Amino acid sequence: MSKVWQGKLVALIQPEIKELASGIQLDAKTQDDILQEQRSQWTQLEVAEVGEAVEFVKPGDKVYVPFDKLKYCSVINYGDGERIIIKQDDIFFKW
């Protein structure tokens, strides 16, 4: 997509969330706990889009964002999938 992202925002491709066995009904808290556990294992996230003021990374780079930053990030449906929206300063390093 050719949109301009503002400032120092970085959009990361959200990895596919592993599905549970069909037929199992979980309450919202348990589902959230499982999602948080999966997020804690994401160590190489791919950069999809960057804001106009981002200098550290570019689309296609793989980055590490600590779990405590991912825990409270925004997730939006954009382009061909979901994107995790973070600030450039939340990136600890790129691979």
Q: What is the DSSP letter of 38?
A: H
Q: What is the pTM of this model?
A: 0.77
- Three-state DSSP state, 28: helix
Mean pLDDT of 79-93: 92
The β-bridge partners of 47 are: 12
Task: Give the tens place of pLDDT for each residue, 53-79.
Answer: 999 999 999 999 998 898 888 999 988
Task: Compute the average pLDDT of residues 22-47.
Answer: 80
Per-residue 3-state assignment (H helix, E strand, C coil) for 54-75: CCCCCCCCEEECCHHHHCCCEE
Which residue's entry shows tokens 């791919």? 46
Per-residue pLDDT, 18: 67
- Is pLDDT at 39 greater than 50 in this prediction? yes
Which of 15-19, 73-77, 86-90 is the most confident on average? 86-90
Cβ burial, residue 26 (10 Å; 0-12/13-18/19+)? exposed
